[in-house]
Amino acid sequence: MSADPNCIFCKIVAGQIPAQKVFEDDEVLVFKDIQPWAPVHLLLIPKRHIVSMVDVTPAEQALMGKLMVLAPKLMAEAGVTNGFRQVINTGIDGGQEVFHLHMHAVGGPRPWAKA
């Protein structure tokens, strides 16, 4: 498995930085975001270092499908029943802040909705 020694998410995968894990298997780690946008805010990451969606190849098709299927399951387990967002920011102009591919799954009351 490839890793970037300077990547915060790779350090979380390696156990060098603690995280509130929600799910883990051989390919994927899911943990709670430390700066949540909503009551439930999970980060789904591949354990293997992939910089962004630009770097995804057909070899990662099953992995990406796994992330897409896993998010609704975990949101339901977290009690999110009225909808959620799945967001992947890509590159600087796409709002990506950590350059290790990750999907945000964000649910619960919508703090971004106007009153």
pTM over 0.75: yes
From CA 25, how far away is CA 98, in angstroms rounded? 21
Which of the residues are catalytic?
Answer: 102
Q: Which domains does the chain carry? A: 8-107 (3.30.428.10)
Q: Which residue has the tokens 């590159």?
A: 91
Q: Which pLDDT score, from 0 to 100, does residue 111 have?
A: 54
Q: Which tens digit of pLDDT belongs to each residue from 33-83?
A: 999 989 999 999 999 999 999 999 999 999 999 999 999 999 999 999 889
